[in-house]
Amino acid sequence: MNRDENNYNNLNIIEKFKNHPIIHDLVDWKMLNKILKENNIKLIDFVGKGHRGVVFKGFMDDKLVAVKVPRLGGKNTIYHEGKILKEINTFGVAPIVYNFSEDFLIMEFVEGIVLKDYMNQNDIDKEELLWIIEETLKQCLRLDLHKIDHTEIQGGKHIIINKNINKIYIIDFDKAKKRRAHNFTCAMALFFGRCHIANRVKGIFNISESEERYIIKLVKNYKKIILR
Ligand SMILES: Nc1ncnc2c1ncn2[C@@H]1O[C@H](COP(=O)(O)OP(=O)(O)OP(=O)(O)O)[C@@H](O)[C@H]1O
Ligand SMILES: [Mg+2]
């Protein structure tokens, strides 16, 4: 089928977003419409915004996708993020990137709960939490070994847990740097250090002070031997 014949009309929904209380003046709407048209995406909803990007949800063929566009007035790091994602997708980290340029990033839409919110729940299953920690640490190790530093692991707001498909996703690589990476040590601090999430983890697993000292020693050794 000719691509043009299959284009969706997103103008109505875009018109609505032009009056959106939060994002009305943060997006180049004409550009967004062009991007959606060229990539044959049906726009569904606004998902979230950060300091640099505004993220929408849409359908590309039968795939649910996230479309990240640069925030007007913010630093445009979209192309950089697309390139990093493409590289780390090759070793199974982060949402799959489908297409990107200076103006947009189209990637797999990640569903699930943000680690920060997950940790605020009352009944946390130990086995499940262990899986989350293990899987996050493994992905951080892979990033370290490929020398990609996410730089924001410690906040816990970029780790998303999708229980339906048993996957953990690390998102938002716009500040990522290609250098000696500290993802693993940051994730260890997030889970076992001094922050709110760590206190919760240590409480749930009843980690003793001597175990904590052992963990700190492990991280020091990792820094000394592996990150050398
Ligand atoms: N692939 C995705 N799938 C689903 N939701 C996403 C995806 N990427 C981003 N989001 C959502 O959009 C929000 C904003 O995205 P993101 O954090 O990448 O923007 P940002 O401008 O880089 O933010 P920051 O100011 O934190 O750097 C996220 O908090 C998340 O809720
Ligand atoms: Mg960001």
Cα 30 to ligand 1 centroid, rounded to whole Å:
21
Q: What is the DSSP string of 60-116?
A: ETTEEEEEEEEPTTS---HHHHHHHHHHHHTTT-SSPEEEE-SS-EEEEPP-SEEHH
Question: Residue 112 and residue 109: Cα distance in Å, rounded?
Answer: 10
Specify the pLDDT at position 1.
40
Q: Which of 151, 153, 152, 143 is CA-nearest to residue 87?
A: 143
Q: What is residue 9's predicted lDDT score, i.e. its pLDDT?
A: 87
Quick one: pLDDT at residue 4? 47
**21 C-alpha vs ligand 2 centroid, how far in Å?**
21
- Atom index in ligand 1 nearest the CA of residue 71 equals 21
Distances (CA, A) of 36 to 67, 82, 152: 9, 17, 29
pLDDT at 226: 81
Model confidence over 2-46: pLDDT tens digits? 444 456 789 999 999 999 999 999 999 999 999 999 999 999 999
Q: What is the atom index within ligand 1 of the atom nearest the CA of 77?
A: 22
Within 6 Å (CB) of ligand 1, which residues are found? 47-53, 55, 66, 68, 95, 107, 109-110, 171-172, 174
Give the atom of ligand 1 at the shortest distance from the alpha carbon of 171.
8
Residues whose CB is less than 8 angstroms from the CB of residue 116 and which lie 6 or more positions away in sequence, other chains included: 155, 156, 157, 197
Nearest residue (CA) to ligand 1, atom 18:
172
CA triplet 183, 184, 187: central angle to 5 degrees? 85
What's the pLDDT tens digit per position in 128-187? 999 999 999 999 999 999 999 999 999 999 999 999 999 999 999 999 999 999 999 999
Whole-number Å distance, alpha carbon 120 to ligand 2 midpoint, is 23
- Mean pLDDT value of segment 65-88: 97
3-class secondary-structure state, position 177 = strand
Residue of minimum CA distance from atom 24 in ligand 1: 50
Please, what are the domains in the chain?
A: 3-108 (3.30.200.20), 113-226 (1.10.510.10)
